[in-house]
Amino acid sequence: MKYKNGFFQIVIKENLGTFLRVYPPQADGESISINEVLDYLDKENIAVLDLPKLSKEVAEATEIKDIFLLETCGFPVNEKVILEIPDNHMYVKARFYPPSKGGSLLRAQDILYEMKQAGVRFGLITKSIEMFLKHRQYCVSYVVAKAKLPRHGHSASIEYKFDTKKDAKPTLLEDGTVDFHKLDMINHVEEGDLLAVLHKEDMGEPGKDVMGMALPAKKVERKVLKYGNNIELSEDGTEIRSKVCGHVKLEGEKVFVSNTYEVLADVDASTGDIEYDGNVTVKGSVRTGFMIRATGDINVNGVVEGAQLFAGGQIILQRGIQGMGKGVLEAKSNIIAKFIENSQVKSGGYVTAEAIMHSEVDAQGDITVDGKRGLVTGGTISSKTMVSVKVAGSNMGTITNILVGVDPTLMEECKAIGKELPEIEEEMEQQDQLYSMIGKKIKSGETLPEERIEAFKRAGNRLKELTDRKNKLEARLEECREQIKEYSAGRVKVFGVMYPGVRITIYDAIYYVREELKYCQLQKDKADVKVSAY
């Protein structure tokens, strides 16, 4: 017979014993594996008396050779198939072994029976079986069944027809001043304008493994268009259009269209506090003690005194805020002001100003202090990404704190989770002990009062609740830690001078400025803060 891979065969010689006939590979065929030989002999219940000798002779065989195994002569050995089925059940490979003299040959129904006994129910490749029966190549892997892979679909997506990331920064003019007029931060819309298009999900098609078990397609996310007032949804639910002239913005996953509320003079006793679902523009100033709360942007042409401004979008102060220790600016997006003095400021985006004095400023994005003065002195400014200043501190040694890459909210959440997890684990241990103790009594057939049965059920339910809670907390803790690590790349840029008295904190490294620093940048380098040329 013609063959390529090396293979072996049981040979029974009357009055001499049982032998292993080795056929070495032809050309570039695969060599015989001693492990495969041993696996086969084990399945045939043929003992190996001298394993080292057998291994050596199999490895060194260069021609057809009979290797002695046993003195006893057993019954003839039939042609055999051994199936390989991986844990993921993606395929079935069959390897065949020849019979000894007098042994029977495999038929197609014999191979199919072995596959059925192994649990194979799907993906049969009859051509592979036919090929073996026609050519009978031994110690060769035939793929006799194959899974059907699922067709993965795709999640739904929403295509917004307007700029969802309006974050244009003010332009620095040649004379060193900052132009607050041409910011172009509002998405204007006309009646009938298309705002968003929903591209629906494709669920895909499931597959099936060789055992007949379903292979589900990847989960896809379904979406719907979310929108507020003044917006019209198409009949098929795939488009939204504006019903009015105004401006559009995206908050989370919800599209809003609204008009702007304008205060033509000051916000004071004549207007009272202002709360508005949209943008607010104040032509005058915002006087001490008054408040503006808007879901959109707040734009003030005059001065903000000791007032409080809360915006779901941006806060733009054409002049600035003199907080007098009472001023508050909070925006989910950016904050832009000529100056910030004696105020509490919190921004979900970046902060840009020409001067920040004796204030507490916290920004998720960059803090840029530029323009003619570009001054930061006193108080604390904190950015998750970068702080860029012209002058920091003062020649009088004013204590000024600059923090980069520090998110107090995340830090606190990590601490809270770290405190809760041991408490959950302790309770889980208690509930598990109770559940196991009662469970053993139930299994032993012991008759228990109804209250003990109820206690057993409660313990099982509580264990499940605690396990779910623990898994969620551990996942969230890992997310928090990854987010905190990302902040370690933050930096401080100084394109002027930084005076002694300034303290720099980058992630978890602290640097005290003890002598003037000019035109430099500070970044975290391992456990320290590194100062390098700007």
Task: Give me the pLDDT at residue 151, please.
Answer: 96
Q: Which of 331, 349, 367 is the last residue of a domain?
A: 349
Task: Give me the pLDDT at residue 487, please.
Answer: 62
Is the CB of residue 202 less than 8 Å from the CB of residue 220?
A: yes
Both tokens assigned to 48: 């190996």
Task: Give me the pLDDT at residue 150, please.
Answer: 96
- Distance between CA atoms of residues 355 and 367, nearest Å: 11
Interacting residues of 444 by C-beta distance below 8 A, sequence separation 6+: none
Task: Give me the pLDDT at residue 338, please.
Answer: 94
| Consecutive H or E run containing 452 | helix 450-486
Task: Give me the pLDDT at residue 181, please.
Answer: 44
Of 333, 340, 334, the closest CA to residue 319 belongs to: 340
Examine residue 233 and state whether it is found in any structural domain, yes or no.
Answer: yes
Is residue 344 located within the same domain as residue 436? no
- Please list the residues that pair with 294 across neighbouring strands: 276, 311
Examine residue 472 and state whether it is found in any structural domain, yes or no.
Answer: yes
Is residue 216 located within the same domain as residue 333? no
| Consecutive H or E run containing 146 | strand 141-146
Is residue 84 located within the same domain as residue 47? yes
- Distance between CA atoms of residues 287 and 267, nearest Å: 6
DSSP string, 272-332: --EEESSEEEESS-B-TT-EEEESS-EEESSEE-S-EEEESS-EEEEEEEEEEEEEEEEES
- Please list the residues that pair with 202 across neighbouring strands: 154
- Please list the residues that pair with 249 across neighbouring strands: 256
Is residue 242 located within the same domain as residue 268? no
Is residue 245 located within the same domain as residue 303? no
Is residue 170 located within the same domain as residue 137? no
| Consecutive H or E run containing 261 | strand 260-263
Examine residue 122 and state whether it is found in any structural domain, yes or no.
Answer: yes
Q: What is the pTM of this model?
A: 0.50
Is residue 284 located within the same domain as residue 320? yes
CA angle 140, 29, 137 (to 5 degrees): 30
Examine residue 507 and state whether it is found in any structural domain, yes or no.
Answer: no
Q: Which of 452, 468, 488 is the last residue of a domain?
A: 488
When divided into structural domains, the chain yields a total of 4
Is residue 49 located within the same domain as residue 140? yes
- Distance between CA atoms of residues 240 and 286, nearest Å: 37
- Please list the residues that pair with 89 across neighbouring strands: none
- Distance between CA atoms of residues 402 and 375, nearest Å: 13
Is residue 286 located within the same domain as residue 314? yes
Examine residue 465 and state whether it is found in any structural domain, yes or no.
Answer: yes
- Distance between CA atoms of residues 3 and 22, nearest Å: 13
Examine residue 167 and state whether it is found in any structural domain, yes or no.
Answer: yes
Examine residue 42 and state whether it is found in any structural domain, yes or no.
Answer: yes
Per-residue pLDDT tens, the chain, 534 aa: give them.
688 899 999 999 988 999 999 999 998 899 999 999 999 999 999 888 889 999 999 999 999 999 999 888 888 999 999 999 999 999 999 999 999 999 999 999 999 999 999 999 999 999 999 999 999 999 999 999 999 999 999 999 999 999 888 665 666 667 666 655 455 666 778 889 999 999 999 999 999 999 999 999 999 999 999 999 999 999 999 999 999 877 888 988 999 998 788 888 999 888 888 888 778 999 999 999 999 999 889 999 999 999 999 999 999 999 999 999 999 999 999 999 999 999 999 999 999 999 999 999 999 999 999 888 899 999 999 998 899 999 999 988 899 999 998 666 777 788 888 899 999 999 999 988 988 888 888 888 888 888 888 988 898 899 999 999 999 988 888 887 777 666 666 899 999 999 999 999 887 788 999 999 999 999 888 878 888 887
Q: Which domain holds residue 194?
A: 157-174+184-252
Examine residue 2 and state whether it is found in any structural domain, yes or no.
Answer: no
Q: Which of 252, 276, 299 is the last residue of a domain?
A: 252
Is residue 301 located within the same domain as residue 224? no
Is the CB of residue 139 less than 8 Å from the CB of residue 30?
A: yes
Task: Give me the pLDDT at residue 232, please.
Answer: 95
Q: Other C-beta atoms within 10 Å of 70: how many? A: 15
Is residue 230 located within the same domain as residue 272? no
Task: Give me the pLDDT at residue 482, please.
Answer: 76
Is the CB of residue 136 less than 8 Å from the CB of residue 96?
A: yes
Is residue 199 located within the same domain as residue 106? no
